Structure 1
Amino acid sequence: MKFSDRKVFVVGGSRGMGAAIVRRFSAAGATVVFTYVASAEAANQLAAETGAQAVRADAGEREVLIASIRDAGPIDIFVYNAGLLVFGDPLTLVADDVDRMIDVNVRGAYFGSVEASRMMPNGGRILVIGSNTADNMPWPGLAAYVMTKAAMQGMARGLTRDVGSRDITVNVIPPGPTDTDMNPAEGPRAASMLAPMAIKRYGTPDEVADLALYLAGTQARGITGSLHTIDGGFAA
């Protein structure tokens, strides 16, 4: 799959799955722009490594996010990878923290995808990195987080209808336990994560990136409004 004539915009691309996606599309020849917030050193290193452009933009700030997408010019492929996790007893969670998570996980995904679609030619691709917990949540304390991830799925299905006449596809990739800084394979929660899985191993960021590359290719032009879970059978 070659993407030498494609521009890719990745929201949240400096680390983990986002960085793997930046590397995959860059290696395939795409022009890649990615955003970051706090990880300036990692973002600059990734940009130097791949030739991608790093842009500081907070996904939870609507106007900042929209401006960064608009400034990138026409975009062929949009990947929304930004996400926050706030967990704990819903009776004691700080309301502002939950609001911030909603801003990043839900509002950012919606307004970013809409603005990207505005900048896209016919045949564009929108990919939202969600979570398999939207379909299966075996632990307490994650109601607010799961709410945001389920909202992303609904948004993608609805947007599919809005942009389908332009042959733009909209799909969600919900990963399961994936070996990143947020949830390392050797971390304290690993045993509980592995327990429900049919394949007892963490996924890798590269596996998620490979799936994103496939869904962005011409062979996937008929795939839209769909969830493409990659979780080792966690939610089976």
Structure 2
Amino acid sequence: MSDSVTSPQPLTGDVVLPCLNEAEALPWVLARIPDGWRALVVDNGSTDGSADVARAHGTRVVHEPRRGFGAACHAGLEAAEADLVAFCDCDASLDPGALPGVAARVLDGTADLVLARRRPTSWGSWPLHARAGNRALAGMVRRRTGLRLRDLGPLRVARRSRLLELGITDRRSGYPLEMVVRAADAGWRIHETEVAYRPRTGESKVTGTWRGTWHAVQDMRAVLR
């Protein structure tokens, strides 16, 4: 079920924001959505009023009752209407204002999928265990696909119809990795750019602890298998 809000300007793309208890961060994130882009908050069972905060900012809300990062991402992809779709964390660690730069190579036809490598603005932006887990996964992806990625960046852009054609099945933490692997197998041109990575607002649900990172890595290893 979704609450629809009409975009007042020509639409470049939809920004899918998977959301679980991000009421504190949402105002900053939504205020930085660039012109031509429309935010689509996918509420994944929040209990802190995140959906109400999003609606108060004039943002479309999609409700996904199945818990899981991938479930929220895919619900947003299916609900999106624009030709171009971006995915972005909504914990204020990533600035949606960077989207035009990230999307440029998809828009000009020189890339099919662009991933934004995270460049930490401070040591606390990206904990050691999260960096280690990401490095291990990047190595697995290189061995599996030949892609020399330095990050499996959560801020990424591609065309909606082509993403749906990939047939991504993971509905947990492995969703971003499966997208990259399936895209590589399909012969997509995958490009990596760079964005600033800030300390998140609120508590991390995935990589904020060693245990959360371990579970995420296990989900992604399952995808590679």
State the TM-score, normalizing by the size of structure 2: 0.41
Instruction: Look at both structures and tell me which one has the larger radius of gyration over its CA atoms.
Output: 1
Tell me which protein shows more helix as a share of its residues.
1
Higher relative contact order (CA 8 A, sep 6+): 2
